[in-house]
Amino acid sequence: MLDRSSQPASPPHIPMDALSEVLQDFRLSGVNYGRCELRHPWSIEFPRQSLLRFHFVGQGPCWIHTEAQGWQELRDGDLVLLPQGIAHRLASAPDVVGDSLEGCQVIKLGGNVCEVVREGTGATSTLFCGSMALDSCALNPLITLMPPVIKGCDVAGNDPVVGPLLAAMTMEAAQPQMGSATILSRMADLLTARLIRCWVNCNGASTTGWLTAIRDPHIGRALAAMHRDPGHNWTLGSLASVAGQSRSIFAARFSAVLGEGAARYLARLRMQLARELLGQGGLSVAEVATRLGYDSEASFARAFKRITNVSPGIVRRTNPGRIDMNFGF
């Protein structure tokens, strides 16, 4: 199908529900959580980053500002999800200026959890914030399609579990005990996954595009398989087998829904993943080629250059080191 090894391999088992298969990969890496107790007046700016962010308000006052939507008040029990990590600001009131982080005390609670405290005499805001990266590129197309800001309270009416989860997080944040930060982080993982799924289910019907493809009972299974294991020795025949269709029907349906053939889609997916791996700086070009199933570094480099118009070596040299996965303030 591409410049790859032709060694036979059995495709992984793919369940019928493709969205569940994609969400199964919703394990987060580079996750950092912070429990914040901030006394009014406070204001903290969050720069744009290629990480998913969320903020949960256990107790206000709290306002959020984005360029597109301006200031919005967040009430007790509100959760806001920023799938693309757009720039934004949190504050105890819209008229508070500056950045209050320098006046905060940051206490490591162990692992990837910290506590952020700002002393003062004003009203106390209790927040639980997270900065995270998806463990694989399986959800990247979906994240790109999502709105820049999603409020949990807006989604709660469409998912009976979201409301109780928000209430449980409110209780845990208001009365912290041993392990509260860890429990909150697990709840946040589940809540984020449910918010994403709920948004997908509530999004308007369409006849083309990635959302239509992942919902399709046949194309969705093949799409999930490619995202779950992009380095597998996929052929048109093996993908059609996963989809439960003939080669001709699968190829025609895939192109009709996604606007390109399965081979082209898979090649772009691999090169997107390759860019991420090369940008992290931990793997050589040859190691990335091997991970994505290519016979040689040369065949991988040709495919990479053909799709991205730049050599993998240049990407690796100009993007040294990993993305900073700190708490992200």
pLDDT confidence of residue 324: 36
Domain boundary among 174, 202, 230: 202
The DSSP element (H or E) to which 287 belongs, if any, is: helix 285-291
* 12 belongs to a structural domain: no
Give the whole-angstrom CA distance, residue 117 versus residue 98. 17
Residues of the chain with pLDDT under 70: 1-17, 19-31, 110-111, 133-139, 156, 175-176, 203-207, 319-329
Domain boundary among 202, 236, 260: 202
Is-cis flag, bond preceding 320, omega within 30?
Answer: no
Length of the chain: 329
**Which residues are registered as beta bridge partners of 150?**
81
For residue 171, count other CB atoms closer than 10 A to its CB: 11
* 272 belongs to a structural domain: yes
* 166 belongs to a structural domain: yes
Between the alpha carbon of residue 307 and those of residues 9, 225, 268, 274, 300, the distances in Å are 26, 21, 7, 11, 11
Pair (306, 158) in one structural domain:
no
pLDDT confidence of residue 168: 84
pLDDT confidence of residue 192: 77
| Percent helix / strand / coil, the chain, rounded to 5 | 45, 20, 35
List the domain range (segments joined by +) for residue 72.
28-202
Rounded (5°) CA angle 148-153-154: 60
Pair (198, 248) in one structural domain:
no
Domain boundary among 143, 174, 202: 202
In 109-244, where does DSSP find H-type helix? 140-145, 152-155, 162-174, 180-202, 210-215, 219-228, 236-243
* 46 belongs to a structural domain: yes
Q: Which of 114, 134, 147, 152 is nearest to 50 (CA)?
A: 134
* Phi–psi pair at 278, nearest 5 degrees: -70, -35
DSSP state of 37: E
Pair (60, 186) in one structural domain:
yes
* 4 belongs to a structural domain: no
User: Is the Cβ–Cβ distance between 106 and 114 less than 8 Å?
Assistant: yes
Pair (33, 170) in one structural domain:
yes
- Which domain CATH number covers 52? 2.60.120.10
pLDDT confidence of residue 93: 95
Pair (247, 149) in one structural domain:
no
Per-residue pLDDT tens for 69-85? 999 999 988 888 898 88
Pair (130, 277) in one structural domain:
no
Pair (244, 195) in one structural domain:
no
Pair (237, 297) in one structural domain:
yes
* 210 belongs to a structural domain: no
- Which domain CATH number covers 256? 1.10.10.60
Q: What is the pTM of this model?
A: 0.67
Pair (33, 180) in one structural domain:
yes
Number of domains making up the chain = 2
HSE-CB of 208 using CA atoms within 13 angstroms: 7
Pair (32, 91) in one structural domain:
yes
Pair (172, 302) in one structural domain:
no
* 223 belongs to a structural domain: yes
User: Is the Cβ–Cβ distance between 197 and 229 less than 8 Å?
Assistant: no
* 324 belongs to a structural domain: no
What SS3 class is residue 141?
Answer: helix
Is-cis flag, bond preceding 61, omega within 30?
Answer: yes
Pair (169, 263) in one structural domain:
no
Residue with tokens 């694989």: 136
